[in-house]
């Protein structure tokens, strides 16, 4: 049985048809005009749309066009007035699955719908077989040559085709959403919707209504029924972003959908069954939240069936240059500005920086640099990394150091400079030394005498015995 949308401004005909199809076991939605139908298409997926050709506002052809654009696999059957065969022919040319002339017998419509559903089943089968052949993984837009990214994509390939729940973890901007999308697009659900919900963006009640929908009158302001994201994702994938930011009540409800694949709309009593695959992402430490009692342990295990850890960019520096090249090419098109690449010094700066905002920060940095660039190459001065002003060698340095009126020990300025350089280089001493134009040995010495603390997990290199440092 399938999900069917009936669009007709003729109320009694629409209701009669909807009733008959619901009796035959289909899940039926109605739209009283073309605009409403188009709105519903933006909200969710239908196997078949039965639409009147001529309606006030948007016509059946508009509905057809929207369906072709949003859900190319949806079959559209148009109903035409008796005698308007030429429009019917035009509809078929525009990609309609079939048409029916009014008036028609319900049985005739049922046969056409059954055919459309059969075709969809066959398409699913073909998709599945093609996936099983393992040749249509399209990872073209996921850039990087590091081993770390390679292993992530290896897991994506393995889990995509199953219905397994996957938890993607990682710092901000590491590509969690991109990976969730890749899992969906390489799954057997690829032709169905990929629906995303950001759990951190909404407070409890709004989030639950977003996820599960609500009935008219469920709460003040609920002036009409609303279909939730779970229903929209039926047959497809629901991506729960920032899943660590849900209230206990919402957590309990999500757990139920994971276990039973069913829920009720807010204020509703009818239990709705869905077939949804769930993917989740978070930059929080869920295990620690479980220990602290703020995240349900049972939900954690349900979500974390397969865990994918997105490594931060500073731990896969091999990806920096390919990503930079990719973004340069992309923004050249978008900004209509020819940039061929970057100067070696600028490229080196990218390698030394520690990228707290990861790939999103790199993407923004490249876009900004391209806007600033005067020539066809990005220069070090065009890159404004981590809000630190670019070092302008040769200047008077007045903007680099601000000396307070009561004065400051030179040692203190040195310390600030060293820590800044170390942070920029992800605490790699050799790189920090290069930034400050001193030798690694001098760097090492200054770290010791100025007593600079390294963050947890990073250690200062041992002070090597060597010739006296007096000449430093
Ligand atoms: N390997 C990659 N190749 C190309 N683009 C990438 C890659 N990884 C990330 N990006 C791009 O970087 C940006 C950030 O990625 P995404 O939104 O997936 O990260 P995120 O981990 O979900 O971030 P947040 O935690 O902030 O939600 C996006 O524009 C995405 O397209
Ligand atoms: Mg994200």
HEC string of 404-447 equals CCCCCCHHHHHHHHHHHHHHHCCCCHHHHHHHCCCCHHHHHHHH
pLDDT in tens, the chain (472 residues): 788 999 999 999 999 999 999 998 898 999 999 999 999 988 777 889 999 998 878 999 999 999 988 777 889 999 988 767 777 788 888 899 999 988 899 999 999 999 999 887 777 666 555 544 443 346 778 999 899 999 999 999 999 989 999 999 999 999 999 999 999 988 989 888 889 899 988 888 889 999 999 988 888 888 888 888 999 898 899 999 999 999 999 999 999 999 999 999 999 988 988 999 999 999 999 999 999 999 999 999 999 999 999 999 999 999 999 999 999 999 998 888 899 999 999 999 999 888 999 999 999 999 999 999 999 999 999 998 865 434 444 444 445 677 776 778 888 888 889 998 888 888 888 888 988 888 888 899 889 888 888 887 777 776 554 444 444 3
Block residue for tokens 């007709």: 8
CA distance 18 to 46: 14
**H/E element holding 157?**
helix 147-160
175 CA to centre of ligand 2 in angstroms: 7
**Long-range Cβ contacts of 291-295 (<8 Å, 24+ apart):** 295/244, 295/251
Residue spans of the domains in the chain: they are: 3-129, 147-311, 314-387, 410-471
| pLDDT score recorded for residue 270 | 87
Atom of ligand 1 nearest to the CA of 326: 4
| pLDDT score recorded for residue 468 | 43
Residue with CA at minimum distance from ligand 1 atom 12: 360
Say how far residue 108 (Cα) sits from the centre of its chain.
42
Residues having C-beta closer than 5 Å to ion ligand 2: 177
Do the strands 226-227 and 271-273 form a parallel or antiparallel pair, or are they unpaired? unpaired
Tokens of 210: 């977003």
**Residues 273-291: b if buried by 16+ CB within 10 A, e if exposed:** ebebbbbbbbbeebeebbe
Residue with CA at minimum distance from ligand 1 atom 30: 175
Residue with CA at minimum distance from ligand 1 atom 18: 175
Q: What is the CATH number of domain 410-471?
A: 1.10.10
259 CA to centre of ligand 2 in angstroms: 25
Beta strand segments in 154-294, E: 166-170, 194-198, 213-214, 226-227, 237-241, 262-264, 271-273, 277-282
CA distance 120 to 99: 17
Residue ranges around ligand 1 (CB below 6 Å)? 142-144, 170, 172-178, 283, 323, 359-360, 363
**H/E element holding 51?**
strand 48-52
294 CA to centre of ligand 1 in angstroms: 27
Say how far residue 152 (Cα) sits from the centre of its chain.
16
Ligand nearest to the CA of 282: 1
CA-closest candidate to residue 44, choices 278, 277, 234: 234
CA distance 328 to 367: 8
Which three-class secondary structure state does DSSP give residue 31? strand
DSSP 258-312: HHHSEEE-BT--SEEE---EEEEEESS-HHHHHHHTSS-HHHHHHHTTEEEEE--
CA distance 274 to 263: 8
CA distance 283 to 169: 6
Atom of ligand 1 nearest to the CA of 173: 23
CA distance 285 to 244: 8
Which of 177, 241, 317, 334 to probe ligand 1 with, by most ligand atoms within 8 A of CB? Answer: 177
Q: For 258, list phi and psi in degrees, rounded to 5.
A: -65, -40
Atom of ligand 1 nearest to the CA of 179: 18
Which of 173, 240, 245, 331 to probe ligand 1 with, by most ligand atoms within 8 A of CB? Answer: 173
| pLDDT score recorded for residue 394 | 40
Residue with CA at minimum distance from ligand 1 atom 31: 178
Fold of the 3-129 domain: Rossmann fold (3.40.50)
Fold of the 147-311 domain: Rossmann fold (3.40.50)
140 CA to centre of ligand 1 in angstroms: 14
Sign of CA dihedral 217, 221, 226, 232: negative
CA distance 454 to 448: 11
Atom of ligand 1 nearest to the CA of 143: 3
Residues in contact with 472: Cβ distance below 8 Å, sequence separation at least 6, in sequence order = 442, 445
Beta-ladder partners of 279: 166, 239
| pLDDT score recorded for residue 31 | 96
| pLDDT score recorded for residue 467 | 45
Which of 359, 363, 366 to probe ligand 1 with, by most ligand atoms within 8 A of CB? Answer: 359
- DSSP, res 133: T
Do the strands 48-52 and 166-170 form a parallel or antiparallel pair, or are they unpaired? unpaired
Ligand nearest to the CA of 172: 1
Residue with CA at minimum distance from ligand 1 atom 16: 175
- Distances in whole angstroms, Cα of residue 143 to Cα of each of 153, 312, 323: 11, 14, 6
Ligand nearest to the CA of 171: 1
Block residue for tokens 């005498």: 449
Block residue for tokens 């292993």: 151
Domains 3-129 and 147-311 fall in the same CATH topology: yes
Which of 175, 309, 362 to probe ligand 1 with, by most ligand atoms within 8 A of CB? Answer: 175
Residue with CA at minimum distance from ligand 1 atom 28: 360
Fold of the 314-387 domain: Helicase, Ruva Protein; domain 3 (1.10.8)
């Amino acid at each position: 049985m399938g999900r069917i949308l009936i669009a007709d401004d003729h109320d009694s005909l629409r209701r009669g048809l909807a009733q008959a199809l619901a009796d035959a076991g289909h899940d039926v939605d109605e739209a009283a005009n073309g605009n409403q139908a188009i709105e519903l298409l933006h909200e969710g997926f239908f196997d078949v749309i039965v639409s009147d050709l001529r309606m006030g506002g948007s016509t059946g052809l508009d509905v057809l066009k929207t369906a072709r654009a949003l859900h190319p696999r949806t079959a559209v059957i148009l109903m035409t007035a008796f005698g308007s065969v030429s429009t019917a022919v035009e509809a078929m040319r525009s990609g309609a699955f079939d048409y029916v002339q009014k008036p028609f017998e319900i049985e005739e419509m049922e046969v056409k719908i059954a055919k459309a559903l059969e075709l969809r089943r066959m398409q699913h089968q073909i998709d599945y077989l093609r996936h099983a052949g393992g040749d249509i993984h399209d990872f073209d837009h996921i850039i990087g040559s590091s081993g770390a990214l390679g292993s992530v994509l290896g897991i994506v390939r393995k889990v995509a085709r199953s219905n397994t729940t996957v938890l993607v973890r990682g710092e901000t901007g590491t590509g969690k959403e991109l990976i969730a999308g890749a899992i969906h697009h390489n799954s057997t659900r690829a032709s169905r919707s990929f629906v995303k919900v950001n759990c951190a963006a909404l407070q409890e009640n709004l989030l639950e209504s977003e996820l599960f929908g609500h009935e008219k009158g469920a709460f003040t302001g609920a002036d009409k029924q609303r279909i939730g994201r779970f229903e929209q994702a039926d047959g497809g994938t629901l991506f729960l972003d920032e899943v660590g930011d849900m209230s206990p009540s919402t957590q309990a409800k999500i757990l139920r959908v994971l276990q039973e694949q069913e829920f009720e709309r807010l204020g509703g009593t009818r239990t709705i069954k869905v077939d949804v695959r769930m993917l989740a992402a978070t930059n929080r430490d869920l295990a620690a939240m479980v220990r602290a009692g703020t995240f349900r342990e049972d939900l954690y295990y349900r979500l974390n069936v397969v865990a994918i850890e997105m490594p931060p960019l500073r731990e896969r520096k091999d990806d920096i240059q390919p990503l930079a090249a990719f973004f340069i090419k992309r923004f050249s098109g978008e900004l209509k500005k020819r940039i061929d690449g970057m100067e070696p010094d600028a490229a080196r700066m990218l390698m030394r920086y520690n990228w707290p905002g990861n790939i999103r920060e790199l993407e923004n940095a490249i876009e900004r640099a391209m806007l600033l660039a005067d020539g066809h190459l990005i220069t070090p001065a065009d890159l404004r990394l981590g809000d630190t002003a670019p070092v302008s060698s040769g200047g008077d340095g007045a903007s680099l150091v601000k000396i307070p009126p009561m004065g400051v020990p030179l040692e203190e300025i040195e310390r600030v400079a060293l820590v800044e350089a170390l942070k920029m280089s992800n605490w790699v001493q050799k790189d920090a030394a290069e930034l400050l134009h001193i030798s690694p040995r001098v760097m090492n010495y200054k770290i010791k005498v100025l007593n600079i603390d390294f963050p947890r997990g990073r250690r200062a290199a041992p002070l090597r015995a060597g010739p006296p440092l007096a000449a430093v």
